[in-house]
Amino acid sequence: MENGGEKIIKINIEEEMKSSYIDYSMSVIVSRALPDVRDGLKPVHRRVLFGMDELGLTSGKPYKKSARIVGEVLGKYHPHGDSSVYMAMVRMAQEWSLRYPLVDGQGNFGSVDGDSPAAMRYTEARMAKITEDMLIDIDKDTVDMMDNFDGSLKEPTVLPTRIPYLLVNGASGIAVGMATNMPPHNIKDAIDAICAYIDNNDIDIEELIKIIKAPDFPTGGMIDVSKYCDGMRGGNVKIRAKIEKDNNNRALKITEIPFGRTTSSLIDSIIKANEKGKIKIKKIDDNTARDVEILIQLAPGVSSDKTIDALYAFTDCELSISPNSCVIEEEKPRFMPISDILRQSADDTVALLKLELEIRLKELLEDLHYVSLERIFIEERIYKDKQFEESETMELVIAHVHRRLQPFLPELYREVTDDDVKKLLEIKMKRILKFSSEEADHYIRSLNEEIAVVKHNIEHIIPYSIAYYERIKAKYGKGRERKTEIRNFENIEAAKV
C-alpha cells in the first residue's frame, strides 16, 4: 500500500507482538539477567571488570574514582543507565553480598546495616586480587572477542577465568519468564570437588556433593541442606541466624544473620513480631560495627530458649531459599544442577590451561627460531657478504640471505620466511657489535628447557590442572574457612512466647 510515497506493509498485530516479545525476552535473558555458565558473570559485571582491566586498575595500583570507571564502562561497553553499572560494581565490593568480592572499594560502599553507598563521585575502586586470576592472558586470544554496541571496539564474550566463580559466589537474577538463584560455596570445597572430578571423570554425583558439601554464605549463619536437591528447582534451603544467650539468659545476641538480609530488615521483623505478641522483648539494640551484633533484652520472666524458638518461627531469623540454577549455555538458558556446573567449570578450565600452554609453546618456539636466525646471521657475517652489499634491490638482498641460510635450515623449527629476513635486516649495528655467542647460547638453552617443561605439561594436562587448582586454593582459601555451619534443623512448634 502506497501512502504519500511511503510503502506501508500490512502485518498481523498478534504475530508482531509475539515476535517482538520473544525478541525482548531473549535479550533480557541472555544479555542482562542470567549468568554465563563459563565465567559465572552477567554482561554488566563482565564489562565492569574488563573496563577496570583496560584502565590498568590491578590490585597493586592506586584506586581510581568510581565515576571514572563507570564512565569508561558506559562509554565503551554498556550503553545503559549509570546507576545500573555503579550498583553492579558496588555489589562486587561488598563483603556481605559476595563470598569472594571482586572489587576492592575505598569509601562508603554501603553496610550490612542496609545503609546505601555514597555517590560514585565520592568512592574509589580497583580490582581485588582474585579478579586478576579471572583476566590473566585475556589479550592472548584465550577467549573470543565481539564488537561493542557501536562496533568501534572489541569486548570479550566471556572472561578467561580460572576461578570457579559461579560456584563460589553464586548468582541471582530475574528475567522474563524465568529466574536464577544460586547460593555461593566455599572455594576450598569447590576446588576439592573439581580436583576429584578432573582426576576421575566418572565420579558419582553423590561423591561430588559430599565434597562440595553445602552453600557457604558471606554472612555466616546456620544452614539445613537436607532438601538442597543439587541446587535445582523444587529444592529448599533453610538459613538461620546465629543467636547466643547473654547476660545470664536475660538477653540474646545475634552475631550472624541470614544471607540476603540486613541488620535493619532483621530488626524490623523482630519488632513486628513483638508488636503482634509473638515474642516478648524489652529492648533491641543494633551494635553492629565491622561484625554483626544485635542485642535483644528479654522481658522479665521470659524464657530465653522459647524466645529463640519464637525468633526462628516468627521473624527473619530463619528464612527459606528456593535454589534455581538457571544459566546461559551456548546463548540459551538452561537449568543446570550444581554438579553439572562444577563439571563444566572444570572442563572449561582444563581446556583454557591447555590453550594457554599451547600459546606459550608457540611463543617460545618463535623466540627460539628468531634468536637462532640472529645468531647465524651475525656469526656467519651474512651482512658483510659482497653480494649482500652490492644487491640493488630489497628482493635481491632477501634472496641472497635465503640462500646463505639454506644450510642451517635443519637447525630451525620452521621454514624461514621473507618477514623473518626483513626482521634480520632491521638489526642495528650497535646490536651486532655487542652480540655475544655465549649469551646467545645460554638464552637458547633456557628456551629449550622451558619448551621441554611446557611440552611435558601439555602431555600431562590433568596433573598440571590439579596442581594449578591447588595453588589457587592455597592462594585464596587460606584463612577462609567455612562461615556457614551445616545443621539439621528440628521443626519448631511455637504459637507465641
Per the prediction, the chain carries an average pLDDT of 91
Q: What is the pLDDT of residue 12?
A: 80
Query: Cα–Cα distance between 107 and 346 in angstroms, integer?
Result: 36
Min mean pLDDT across 26-30, 88-92, 205-209, 450-454 is at 26-30
Q: How far is CA 335 from CA 66, 172, 329, 339, 434, in A?
A: 35, 13, 9, 12, 63
Query: Cα–Cα distance between 254 and 249 in angstroms, integer?
Result: 13
User: What confidence category does residue 24 fall into, taking pLDDT thresholds of 50, 70 and 90?
Assistant: low
pTM of structure: 0.89
User: Which segment, 167-171, 302-306, 397-401, is predicted with the most confidence on average?
Assistant: 167-171
As a whole number, mean pLDDT of residues 241-249 equals 87
Residue from 147, 145, 42 nearest 102 by CA = 42
**SS3 of 245, please?**
strand
Query: How many Cβ atoms are within 10 Å of 30's Cβ, its own excluded?
Result: 17
| pLDDT tens sequence across 170-202 | 999 887 778 899 999 999 999 999 999 999 999
As a whole number, mean pLDDT of residues 52-63 equals 96
Residue from 205, 175, 182 nearest 332 by CA = 175
Residue from 139, 166, 167 nearest 155 by CA = 139
Q: How far is CA 33 from CA 74, 262, 303, 337, 463, in A?
A: 18, 23, 46, 18, 36
* Cell numbers standing for residue 104: 576492592
Residue 185 is given by DSSP the state: B
8 Å CB contact between 272 and 284? no
Is 122 a known active-site residue? yes
The CA-based dihedral angle spanning residues 48, 53, 54, 56, taken in that order and rounded to the nearest 10 degrees: 130
Q: What is the pLDDT of residue 131?
A: 96
- Where does residue 485 rank: exposed (0-12), middle (13-18), buried (19+ CB within 10 A)? middle
Among 21, 63, 77, 122, which one carries the catalytic annotation? 122
As a whole number, mean pLDDT of residues 456-465 equals 97
Terminal C-alpha separation, the chain:
76
Q: Which residues contact 198 (CB under 8 A, 6 or more apart)?
A: 346, 350, 462, 465, 466, 469
Query: Cα–Cα distance between 442 and 160 in angstroms, integer?
Result: 34
At CA 299, angle to CA 294 and CA 301, rounded to 5? 130
Residue from 35, 345, 315, 46 nearest 181 by CA = 35
Min mean pLDDT across 27-31, 214-218, 363-367, 409-413 is at 27-31
Query: How many Cβ atoms are within 10 Å of 4's Cβ, its own excluded?
Result: 5
pLDDT at 49 over 90: yes
8 Å CB contact between 354 and 199? no
Query: Cα–Cα distance between 96 and 107 in angstroms, integer?
Result: 16
| pLDDT tens sequence across 9-23 | 788 877 777 776 666
Q: What is the pLDDT of residue 72?
A: 96
